[in-house]
Structure 1
Amino acid sequence: MMIKDYIKEQVLLMDGAMGTYFAELTEGHYTLSEPANISKPGLILDIHKAYIEAGAKLIRTNTFAANPYTLYRSFDEVKKIIMAGIDIANEAVKGRDCYVAYSIGPIGEPYDIEDYEIESTYRKLIDIGLLKNVKIILLETFSRIDQVNQLVEYIHEHGPNIQIMTNFTVNQHGYTKVGVNKEKIIQQTRQQDLVATYGFNCGIGASHLLSLIKTLDFDPSKMVAVPNAGYPDQQLERMVYQSNADYFADTMIKICEEGVRIVGGCCGTTPEHIRKIRERLNTFDFSEIKSISRMKRKSLPLTPLHNAFREKLENNQFVVAVELDPPFKMDMSLIISSAHLLKEVGVDIITFADSPLGRTRADALLVAAKIKQLTGMEVLPHVCLRDKNLIALRGGLVGAHLSDIRNILIVTGDPIPSDDRDEVKSVFNMNAISFMQYVTEINSELDLDTFYIGGALNPYTQNMEVTLERVLKKKEAGASYLLTQPVYNDAGIEAIKKVREKTGMKILGGIMPLVSLRNARFLHYEFPGILIPDDVMAKFKETMTKDEAEKVGVELAVALATKMKPHVDGLYFMTPFNRATMIEKIIKRLDVL
């Protein structure tokens, strides 16, 4: 019987967790369950049978994490593990009226693996299922719709009779780790005629998933809900879920009452959780489920804040941005006085870098909020993805929006200095493009009061075609403008001109005034992405006084800005040592404000 026929008059109960239950039974001696298909097949068979005896009508093969990147094994070894896992699951359902779904989980995406390699691996995993003549393929715990759609099409092309189940994982706010929101998942997946079911698994507990489901407009004949048992606690280096089978089962019945017809358990659930759900389903009156209108609940539209910086750029007016460095220490007096001066000069926006070069400074979002509060200026904090995980990044965005910040510059971030790497670790949950996509998804729920997203551009690229491709990806991801690394010669200006012409992106040309020969040498030899020509360095002498050197720096910056101005949409001044008076002198010499 097809799944769609089974759920016409009853709820399909799936099994519970394999990985966490396996870890519980083995007392945490094994970190992954999939290799046990070879080393401990009897235990895996017993787990499957325990779920079936508890009342599950669909079990998942123990193959979720079976891929070369997660298991750190050759593909031939992975293939043996998967084939054994499918055989064990089929053995478990012999003589029983149960479904077996071949489980394929997401492959982690380290930065050194190209998308085409990952897609090729997925196809090989699917091919193993086709070779074993599986009837159901379950793509579970995914975050990217485009990736799932590609796999669905591949499965249908090579196995048109296979039933395809697709489950995504979201946080309690309804977003996947790459920023896709729950509404978009449901909207796009329900339009995919090739899938038998779609829904959510893992990531959150039953109560949070129930809350999300209540806000969704879905097709009950296809909806799946497979939450975790709750949220784990760490005990003696193990992640442990509390025993809550009755509570979990009660909540799952409430999910069924919302019209969901396929339910089960993910991390932390055990045969006891499934048994409790089955007990309640035995007395559940399926016919009394009413058709519930689930139109997306909208908050009252927000009145958008006036964003003068955005307005000028979108109306093709020239803009001037000036960067101030957040302080190293607990003293903001210099940056505050500099911001007030820049406001008097008439600059359009003040930007704040986020601990460049991996050296700690005051948090850019907090400094930006403070300066906006004190001056009323438009601010542009940089959001660096090196130091924060997605939880902290989203928290920063919420705080920024509540602080009336509407402009953000998203950068992947400089590497941690080598001398700190033993103690300080980079995070990089996302790169600049994926986080731009994430913020764009958040923007879709903010009506008109959205973040105005910017990105970075290095004009001194070694491969212009790759740079152009990346800029277009940023544009597609939601970026509206770019700020460049400092430019000091015609080659940099020509590169900016080409990017602007080829991509149509708004670009603010970067200028970092030099203040001494030592400063110029440091930037050239030690600061990544900055190239200072010999003829520019030759303008400075070691014997110059501070004032003499600054005067040369002003002259060079004015000349460069004048030459750059026809080819950019604005200028972006990086203030050396927060010398705002130097930027004031440069701007007054230019006809830009």
Structure 2
Amino acid sequence: MNVSEYLEKKPLIFDGAMGTYYGERYTGKCEYANIEHPNRVLQIHKEYIEAGCMAIKTNTFAANTVSLETDIEIVKKIVAAGSRIALEAAKERDIAVFADMGPIPYVGGSPIQEYKEIIDVFLENNITNFLFETLGSDEDLAELSRYIKRKKEDSFIIVQFAVTPDGFTRVGLSGKNIFKRINEIKEIDAVGFNCISGAHHLYEYIKQLEPFQKNISIMPNAGFPTVRDNRTIFENSSDYFAETLYKTINVGVNIVGGCCGTTPEYIRKTVEYVKGVKTAKRIEYKKAEVTKRESNQKENLLLHKINAGKKIIAVELDPPSKAEISNFMEGAKRLKYSGVDAITIADCPLARARVDSSLLACKLKRELDITPIPHMTCRDRNINATKALLLGLNIEGVENVLVVTGDPVPSPLRDEIKTMFSFNSAILAKHISELNEEVFSSPFGICAALNVNARNFDAQLKHAQKKIDNGVTMLFTQPVLTEEAFENLKKAKETLQAKILGGIIPIVSHRNACFMNNEISGINVSQDIINQYEGKEREEASKLAVKISTEIAEKISPYVDGYYIITPFNRVDIIEKIIQGIHTFQS
């Protein structure tokens, strides 16, 4: 089948969900069945073909080293076997076969090389059409689609994103904005949505998007799942599903199929509903006018001040580990009267549970009327929980957040405490930036971290630039306690188009200096500073902490837009004196 020619005449109907249908009958990961039980996979392909679909997906959705927890050679065997089985199932009919490629889960590096190796296996096994599905981000798609087209110019490439009913992917990107970006990639032939949402939600969502020239693909779930006896079950709603896809085709969608929970019965019903239907033109729906809600929030004073060229002072207070916050609130009150512009609150630092930073931020805003900046990590929440928290913060008038990936849970605890890490700080910044455009009437100021103590600072700068591209306007650096960190700070100021707050942490003892230098990731302390604390008693060490910190603040002053002072051991008395010192040399 020539897919492009077929789509000029009528819509292309895909099969349903191999994974959930296989799971109803058998145990184990269905991709391994390509090499262990090929007849099972072949039979399911044939059932979907008998149901009337004109395109099938290879049984390779999760065929990657991360999802299958195996090496690339095993993945290649699974992909090759999956290709042969699908071609065998389709050989007696004019059925299009698509290489099915799901997302390779984020593990800290780019998966693009593994994608290319898998693509090569498909091409070597005569699979020339590709479906990238259930994606959370459009990153790397331009390069991958060009890679395919260079090797097989007449291949047909579909990319599909999994969005919630409100139109955001699992990493918080707007489906609307993704569509616009994909429209600029000429090598991609079709774009659409699958998974997470049911037929009705995707039908309603697709109507909101602006028409453009690419083919549009919709492959919804069977509906909302329920859990019975620890198994995920989709209730049979095949008639409703088919009728909704029929309506979806009539608004201009020309590729449809099924995702989780859709059996051959769903596809059979869909084929019956759309029999004789020709490809429809994309209908432009007039959007209902939405009255933008009035904001009761004040102007973002922090951004206003820093954008006016005035240096600001932000002080970090660690949230308490117990439900007793009188000392925290008293410290915050003292800092307010010392003249700080903002108080930042860490989000469970060192992966240890503490009072929630966002709840404390709301309390500071309400009771002390001071600008709070809660840290927001990517470690402990998925994108739904993060968005819910941002909505609450926005309602409470919290105007700024500091996004960080978050400290990992110490390895001995990993069996008991599971980390999330489904996205990183750059992706979270992008999510907040897109929510600023589409949801919040009063947008957040987005802050992020910059590690001036990183060994490979050029890589740190590159990552910081990505954060800036994703909407970050302020960077808070790690403490500057070495000459190397100072030089990196200067380089950052020359390179990055963002406001920079230079990090300062007062050292309170010789032991404290040694501990930070050896135990705390991201902090380096010069040997000269460590030596100065030898033999110092508490009062002497405190005076030295103020002296060194004030000197550092003055030294970095030409290269920063403000100061980010970290409070050690709740020693607000030391911070007050450092602030006095800063005000003195600035006046």
Structure 2: gaps (5+ residues):
none
1:25 aligns with 2:25: yes
Per the alignment, residue 218 of structure 1 pairs with: 211
Which of 196, 199, 215 aligns to 2:192? It is 199
Question: Are 2:207 and 2:285, in contact at CA under 8 Å, matched by a contact in 1?
Answer: no
1:274 aligns with 2:267: yes
Which of 553, 557, 562 aligns to 1:561? It is 553
Query: What CA deviation, in whole Å up to 9, does each residue of 1:233-261 have, x standing for no partner?
Result: 33344332222223322332332343322
1:142 aligns with 2:135: yes
Question: Are 1:36 and 1:44, in contact at CA under 8 Å, matched by a contact in 2?
Answer: yes
1:306 aligns with 2:299: yes
Q: TM-score, normalised by structure 2?
A: 0.91
1:579 aligns with 2:576: no
Per the alignment, residue 93 of structure 1 pairs with: 90
The amino acid of 2:427's aligned partner reads S
What secondary structure does 1:507 align onto? strand
Counting only pairs closer than 5 Å after superposition, residues 49-88 of structure 1 correspond to structure 2 as 49-88=46-85
Identity of aligned residues (%): 38
- 1:539 positional shift: 4.5
Which of 165, 169, 187 aligns to 1:172? It is 165
Aligned-partner Cα distance in 2 for 1:436–1:549: 39
Counting only pairs closer than 5 Å after superposition, residues 415-494 of structure 1 correspond to structure 2 as 415-446=408-439, 449-494=442-487
Aligned-partner Cα distance in 1 for 2:409–2:202: 37
Question: Are 2:99 and 2:127, in contact at CA under 8 Å, matched by a contact in 1?
Answer: yes
Q: Residue 310 and residue 132 in structure 1: after superposition, are their counterparts in 2 closer, same or farther (change >3 A)?
A: same
> Aligned residues, how many?
584
Q: Residue 493 and residue 22 in structure 1: after superposition, are their counterparts in 2 closer, same or farther (change >3 A)?
A: same
Query: What CA deviation, in whole Å up to 9, does each residue of 1:198-250 have, x standing for no partner?
Result: 11112222232223212112348711110111233333443322222233223
- 1:348 positional shift: 1.1
1:107 aligns with 2:99: no
Aligned-partner Cα distance in 1 for 2:279–2:192: 22
Q: Residue 553 and residue 91 in structure 1: after superposition, are their counterparts in 2 closer, same or farther (change >3 A)?
A: closer
Per the alignment, residue 323 of structure 2 pairs with: 330
Aligned-partner Cα distance in 2 for 1:568–1:292: 49
Q: Residue 567 and residue 185 in structure 1: after superposition, are their counterparts in 2 closer, same or farther (change >3 A)?
A: closer
Aligned-partner Cα distance in 2 for 1:221–1:589: 61
Query: What CA deviation, in whole Å up to 9, does each residue of 1:402-446 have, x standing for no partner?
Result: 222221111112222344333222221112222222222323325
Counting only pairs closer than 5 Å after superposition, residues 134-533 of structure 1 correspond to structure 2 as 134-219=127-212, 222-282=215-275, 291-293=283-285, 300=292, 303=295, 305-446=298-439, 449-533=442-526
Q: Residue 320 and residue 83 in structure 1: after superposition, are their counterparts in 2 closer, same or farther (change >3 A)?
A: same
The amino acid of 2:334's aligned partner reads L
What secondary structure does 1:35 align onto? helix
Query: What CA deviation, in whole Å up to 9, does each residue of 1:478-514 have, x standing for no partner?
Result: 2222212223344432331222123243221122223
What secondary structure does 1:199 align onto? strand
- More displaced, 177-186 or 300-309? 300-309
Question: Are 2:253 and 2:282, in contact at CA under 8 Å, matched by a contact in 1?
Answer: no
Counting only pairs closer than 5 Å after superposition, residues 119-130 of structure 1 correspond to structure 2 as 119-130=112-123
Question: Are 1:7 and 1:221, in contact at CA under 8 Å, matched by a contact in 2?
Answer: no
| RMSD (CA atoms) | 2.7
Per the alignment, residue 36 of structure 1 pairs with: 33
Q: TM-score, normalised by structure 1?
A: 0.90
Structure 1: gaps (5+ residues):
none
Question: Are 1:104 and 1:140, in contact at CA under 8 Å, matched by a contact in 2?
Answer: yes
- 1:161 positional shift: 1.4
- 1:352 positional shift: 0.5
- 1:267 positional shift: 1.0
Aligned-partner Cα distance in 1 for 2:352–2:324: 17
Aligned-partner Cα distance in 1 for 2:73–2:554: 62
What secondary structure does 1:383 align onto? strand
The amino acid of 2:6's aligned partner reads Y
- 1:340 positional shift: 2.4
- More displaced, 362-371 or 400-409? 400-409
Question: Are 2:136 and 2:169, in contact at CA under 8 Å, matched by a contact in 1?
Answer: yes
- 1:326 positional shift: 1.2
The amino acid of 2:378's aligned partner reads L
What secondary structure does 1:157 align onto? helix
What secondary structure does 2:107 align onto? coil
Q: Residue 75 and residue 584 in structure 1: after superposition, are their counterparts in 2 closer, same or farther (change >3 A)?
A: closer
Per the alignment, residue 3 of structure 2 pairs with: 3
1:48 aligns with 2:40: no
The amino acid of 1:158's aligned partner reads K
Aligned-partner Cα distance in 2 for 1:161–1:184: 27
Question: Are 2:510 and 2:536, in contact at CA under 8 Å, matched by a contact in 1?
Answer: no
- 1:538 positional shift: 4.7
Aligned-partner Cα distance in 2 for 1:300–1:11: 38
The amino acid of 1:553's aligned partner reads A
What secondary structure does 2:223 align onto? coil
The amino acid of 2:138's aligned partner reads I
Aligned-partner Cα distance in 2 for 1:211–1:75: 40
Aligned-partner Cα distance in 1 for 2:511–2:127: 68
- 1:285 positional shift: 6.0
